Structure 1
């Protein structure tokens, strides 16, 4: 039997945390459930991360990083409409193939709002920094146009909301989402 390094275990914890937090949110997920999913003890879990907040932050940031990486790769070397469609397709593919990433994003926004309401701003600042990284990744291929970037991000949040509510790809709510494309589980040019 090959033993995992601490870094490999940390990676296992992040993946398990995404799955658990995506389903139950920050407040509904126990560190015991995460430890059980990974197959480690809670004390070992806390040797890898100082606490539940750190685990949640790592899971949240992983999702942001995954979205950033997918959009950056899709938009690489492209500009304007070509970049827009490539990045949109990459995003829809990411959340279609990995629905827990979408659910984790939504749980992150809820947790930031709850923390901010309690006067805890540190986590919100970390998430906002990740959002700004995402903004810049989208902004440059779209010609550094603020309106184009805002529209792209707004469509992304609408996609998040509709997908999180469980609207199937063929439902009419998806019609007109992109003037030159239709959603069928992923974006395809019509």
Structure 2
């Protein structure tokens, strides 16, 4: 059987996707480059050769996740350039639980001197994209992002999304107030 070698770009993408999975599970502090390497089926020195350090790999992973948010928002705005359209598109991202969870890990690591500037820039970029695509006022964009962060947290906890579990108590009432599609609501 002939094996096809991956291009450098394909190998890079494979490692980022493995890193998304690993960092989702262990967070920044609890994940090793060896875990990422095993998930990707490569050696740990190869991961270091491509990314340099775990910190640089984590930064690339969070940037990838934020880039996915921007990609989904831009696609939605091509159809209808308003906040409602972007909100519906965010339902798709809630279903990509690993991506939103890795973003949360990035925000949680914001106190790290090397990671903090990147996550602040990343979140600011998402704000700018929302304003650019929709023409939303600063207050409307703020409210949109606040609701999105709530959805991100609830999605990471599996309170909303395609594999949601009933949370009970106040969370059920809170979920009922969210502007989400039926796809993200618990059964």
TM-score w.r.t. the length of structure 2 is 0.85
- How far does the alpha carbon of each residue in 1:13-51 deviate from its partner, in whole angstroms, 9 at most, with x for none? 100000000111011111111101111111111111111
Shift in Å, 1:185: 2.7
Shift in Å, 1:61: 0.2
Q: 4+ residue stretches of structure 1 with deviation over 6 A? A: none
1:159 corresponds in structure 2 to: 151
RMSD of equivalent CA atoms: 1.8
In structure 2, C-alpha distance between the alignment counterparts of 1:124 and 1:12, rounded to whole Å: 25
In structure 2, C-alpha distance between the alignment counterparts of 1:43 and 1:88, rounded to whole Å: 41
In structure 2, C-alpha distance between the alignment counterparts of 1:150 and 1:142, rounded to whole Å: 13
2:97 corresponds in structure 1 to: 99
In structure 2, C-alpha distance between the alignment counterparts of 1:57 and 1:168, rounded to whole Å: 27
- Aligned partner of residue 29 in structure 1, secondary structure: coil
- Mapped pair 1:175 → 2:176: yes
In structure 2, C-alpha distance between the alignment counterparts of 1:45 and 1:146, rounded to whole Å: 40
**Contact 1:78/1:141 (8 A) holds in 2:** no
In structure 1, C-alpha distance between the alignment counterparts of 2:97 and 2:136, rounded to whole Å: 30
Long gaps (5+) in structure 2: 167-171
1:74 corresponds in structure 2 to: 76
In structure 1, C-alpha distance between the alignment counterparts of 2:60 and 2:160, rounded to whole Å: 30
- How far does the alpha carbon of each residue in 1:149-177 deviate from its partner, in whole angstroms, 9 at most, with x for none? 11100000111122222224673321222
Shift in Å, 1:123: 2.1
Describe how 1:33-48 pairs up with structure 2 within 5 A.
33-48=35-50
1:109 corresponds in structure 2 to: 107
In structure 2, C-alpha distance between the alignment counterparts of 1:140 and 1:50, rounded to whole Å: 34
Long gaps (5+) in structure 1: none
Shift in Å, 1:93: 1.3
**Contact 1:18/1:100 (8 A) holds in 2:** yes
In structure 2, C-alpha distance between the alignment counterparts of 1:141 and 1:3, rounded to whole Å: 39
How many residue pairs align between the two structures? 174
1:138 corresponds in structure 2 to: 130
